């Protein structure tokens, strides 16, 4: 009874430790993921119904939808069975490592011993040659050559000569395990991020502060305030192709400004473990009233005046009695073929203000002034209204994230790179070199082994052999 029980457990253990199980898991994760990329994840059911009827048929789609829905395919990567697959994958890695590590560790740590000639000759890599000198004379040269090839060798005196033996990169055998363990680290890091962190979104208007983050269907409150000093979009030349989005943020904690930083799309701001990413922007609804337009007004004879104006404000061109009033604004104004204006997007692509000019109470002229187009700044009577900037009408959309596990993920990424490199490009190499006195000659027998890439090691050994045999006379 006892015995049978333990063999069953042994069998289960062996199954979980096996590479066969690993490749089954690989295949399962890969194929289910394929389905996950075809069906839309966490989307409107109508979309998936459409995809299904396109792939199969109109009549089959609703039934299929129900089946896939029951199996969780529309939120697949969070479904119980996909998570279980990942868990099995992790379990497989852990058990496989526990199973093999002791043996590998022994191979890494195993001290090398001198070996008899017959054993050396049985190695897959072995060489034998004779040189015209005595072992005593050439032993320094031999150990030096081996050292130059990266083998720090032990030396033992034998009956009729010497034996050198050494190894290198024995730790490279652990590369595979480093790789496997890093995968676990990444999974643990991801889990910590999901359990202890959050992902959310917040909007902060120019000149305002906020501490509310919307995360899924929850609303979180930060214990500090985020202030958006300014938001700007830079474009490529006159095109509507955005070049950079930039927000100037200030963090206010307990009434004090603690951090100031301008963020761009690839350059976020982190404070107290919470990171703010530039993610979107827009125009504050009904925010026109609080916006400020910055003009430089220049009269014909060169007098100028820098003005901060609000919508509806009036201003005077210095040295004249011409009065302008801002009566309309468009974030992106364009003229159509007939010369009529229209707003082509609600993003701040081509902002323009409509200014109405009066002289001594009488309407004189009116026109659109574009920020981007200096030629529109010229008034018909030679005065200029330069539209420099605007402020206070846009909000910046920030992706907010706290992820206490991300450093583990990154650590795992670094280690997996090191692990893969060692696993594929380094090998544990061992070499034994025996010098045997044979009258005034020395017979050299080399035996060597490696756990992979034997061809490369053989080339190395042949180089050692040719160095040794070429320098036979030079050695003292």
**Counting contacts by CB under 6 A, is residue 192 touching ligand HEM?**
no
SS3 403: coil
- Only segment of 88-96, 230-238, 378-386, 402-410 that touches ligand HEM (CB under 6 A): 88-96
- Contact of residue 447 among another protein, ligand HEM, none (CB under 5-8 Å per partner type): none
Give me 210's structure tokens. 């906020």
For another protein, the closer of residues 1 and 30 by Cβ is: 30
Residue 357, SS3 per DSSP = strand
Binding region for another protein (CB under 8 A): 19-20, 22-23, 26-27, 29-30, 33-34, 36-38, 41, 77, 190, 199, 236, 241-245, 264-268, 275, 277-279, 399-401, 406, 409-410, 413, 416-417, 420-421, 424
Contact call for residues 257 and 249 (beta carbons, < 8 A): no
Angle at 143 between CA 139 and CA 144, to 5 degrees: 110
When CB distances are held under 5 to 8 angstroms depending on the partner's kind, the choice from another protein, ligand HEM, none that residue 92 binds is ligand HEM
Site track 141-180 with ligand HEM (rule: CB under 6 A), x = hit: -----------------------------------x--xx
Q: Comparing C-alpha atoms, which of 176, 134, 203, 154 is closest to residue 426?
A: 176
Decide which of another protein, ligand HEM, none touches 415; Cβ closer than 5 to 8 Å per partner kind.
none
Residues 362-421 that bind ligand HEM (CB under 6 A): 420
In this complex, which beta carbon is closest to ligand HEM, that of residue 20 or of residue 310? 20
Q: Binds 406, which of another protein, ligand HEM, none (CB < 5 to 8 A, cut-off by type)?
A: another protein
Q: Which does 1 bind (CB under 5 to 8 A by kind): another protein, ligand HEM, none?
A: none
Identify which of residues 179 and 299 has a Cβ nearer to ligand HEM in the complex.
179
96 touches ligand HEM by CB under 6 A: yes
Would you say 179 or 330 has its CB closer to ligand HEM? 179
User: Do residues 96 and 22 lie in contact, with contact meaning Cβ atoms separated by under 8 Å?
Assistant: yes
Interstrand relation of 304-310 and 292-298 (parallel, antiparallel or unpaired): antiparallel
Tell me the DSSP string of 225-244. EEEEEEEEEEESTTSS-EEE
Answer yes or no whether residue 183 interacts with ligand HEM by CB under 6 A: yes
Burial grade of 31 (CB within 10 A; 0-12, 13-18, 19 or more): exposed
What gap in Å lies between CA 304 and CA 301, rounded to an integer? 9
Tokens representing residue 365 in the block: 């002229």
- 228 near 205, Cβ under 8 Å? yes
DSSP collapsed to 3 states, 155-172: EEEECCEEEEEEEECHHH
Complex with ligand HEM: residue 95 or 444, whichever CB lies closer = 95
Minimum CB distance to another protein, residue 108 (Å): 19
Q: In the 8-state DSSP scheme, what is residue 272?
A: T
How many other C-beta atoms are found inside a 10 Å radius of the C-beta of residue 97? 16
The nearer residue to another protein, 122 or 243, going by C-beta atoms, is 243
Which of the choices another protein, ligand HEM, none does residue 180 contact, using the CB cut-off of 5 to 8 A by kind?
ligand HEM
Are 208 and 391 in contact, with CB atoms under 8 Å apart?
no
Least CB distance to ligand HEM at residue 105 (A): 12
Question: For residues 50 and 275, which CB has a smaller minimum distance to another protein in the complex?
Answer: 275
Residue bearing tokens 């323009």: 352
- Tokens describing residue 414: 């670094």
Per the structure block, which two tokens stand in for 323?
């009065």
CB-nearer residue toward ligand HEM: 344 or 421: 421
Q: Does residue 93 belong to the site contacting ligand HEM (CB under 6 A)?
A: yes
Nearer to ligand HEM, 22 or 85 (CB): 22
* Tokens of residue 302, six digits: 């060169």
CA distance 227 to 303: 37
Residue 417 site contact among ligand HEM, another protein, none (CB < 5 to 8 Å, cut-off depends on kind): another protein
Q: How far is the CB of 414 from ligand HEM (least distance, A)?
A: 15
Q: Using CB under 6 A as the criterion, what x/- string covers residues 1-40 for binding ligand HEM?
A: ------------------x--x------------------
For 157-180, b where at least 16 C-beta lie within 10 A, e where not — what string?
eeeebbbbbbbbbbebbbbbbbbb
Angle, vertex CA 76, rays to CA 197 and CA 68, nearest 5: 150
- Least Å from the CB of residue 83 to ligand HEM: 16
Do 388 and 294 form a contact (C-beta atoms < 8 A)?
A: yes
Strands 304-310 and 274-283, sheet pairing: unpaired
Which parts of 415-454 interact with ligand HEM (CB under 6 A)?
A: 420, 423
Tell me which residues touch ligand HEM (CB under 6 A): 19, 22, 89, 92-93, 96, 176, 179-180, 183, 420, 423
């Amino acid at each position: 009874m006892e015995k049978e029980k333990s063999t069953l457990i042994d069998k289960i253990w062996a199954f979980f430790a096996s590479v066969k199980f690993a490749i089954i898991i690989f295949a399962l994760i890969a194929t289910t993921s394929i389905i996950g990329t075809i069906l839309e994840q966490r989307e409107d059911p109508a979309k998936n119904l459409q995809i299904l009827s396109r792939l199969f048929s109109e009549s089959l789609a609703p039934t299929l939808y129900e089946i896939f829905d029951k199996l969780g395919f529309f939120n697949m990567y969070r479904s119980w069975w996909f998570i279980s697959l990942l868990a099995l994958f992790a379990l497989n890695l852990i058990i496989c490592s526990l199973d093999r590590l002791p043996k590998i560790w022994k191979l890494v740590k195993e001290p090398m011993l001198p070996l008899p000639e017959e054993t050396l000759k049985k190695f897959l890599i072995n060489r034998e040659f004779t040189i015209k000198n005595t072992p005593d004379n050439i032993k320094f040269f031999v150990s030096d050559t081996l050292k130059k090839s990266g083998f720090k060798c032990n030396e033992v005196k034998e009956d009729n000569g010497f034996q050198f033996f050494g190894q290198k990169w024995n730790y490279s055998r652990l590369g595979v395990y480093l790789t496997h363990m890093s995968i676990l680290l990444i999974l643990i890091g991801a889990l910590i991020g999901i359990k202890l962190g959050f992902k959310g979104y917040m909007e902060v208007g120019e000149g305002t502060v906020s501490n509310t983050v919307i995360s899924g269907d929850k609303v979180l409150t930060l214990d500090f305030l985020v202030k958006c000093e300014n938001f700007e979009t830079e474009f490529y030349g006159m095109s509507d192709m955005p070049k950079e989005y930039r927000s100037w943020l200030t963090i206010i904690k307990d009434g004090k400004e603690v951090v100031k930083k301008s963020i761009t799309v690839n350059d976020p701001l982190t404070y107290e473990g919470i990171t703010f990413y530039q993610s979107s922007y827009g125009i504050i609804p009904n925010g026109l009233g609080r916006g400020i337009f910055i003009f430089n007004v220049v009269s014909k004879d060169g007098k100028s005046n820098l003005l901060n104006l609000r919508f509806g404000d009036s201003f005077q061109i210095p040295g004249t009695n011409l009065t302008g009033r801002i009566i309309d604004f468009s974030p992106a104004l364009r003229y159509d073929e007939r010369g009529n204006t229209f707003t082509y997007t609600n993003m701040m692509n081509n902002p323009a203000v409509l200014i109405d000019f009066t002289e001594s109470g009488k309407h004189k002229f009116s026109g659109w002034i574009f920020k981007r187009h200096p030629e529109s700044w010229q008034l018909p009577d030679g005065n200029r209204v330069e539209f420099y900037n605007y402020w206070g009408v846009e909000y910046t959309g920030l992706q907010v994230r706290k992820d206490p596990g991300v450093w583990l993920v990154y650590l795992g990424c670094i280690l997996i790179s090191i692990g893969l490199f060692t696993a594929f490009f380094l090998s544990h190499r061992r070499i034994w070199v025996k010098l045997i006195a044979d009258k005034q000659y020395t017979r050299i027998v080399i035996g060597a082994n490696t756990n992979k890439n034997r061809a490369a090691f053989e080339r190395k050994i042949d180089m050692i052999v040719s160095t040794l045999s070429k320098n036979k006379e030079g050695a003292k």
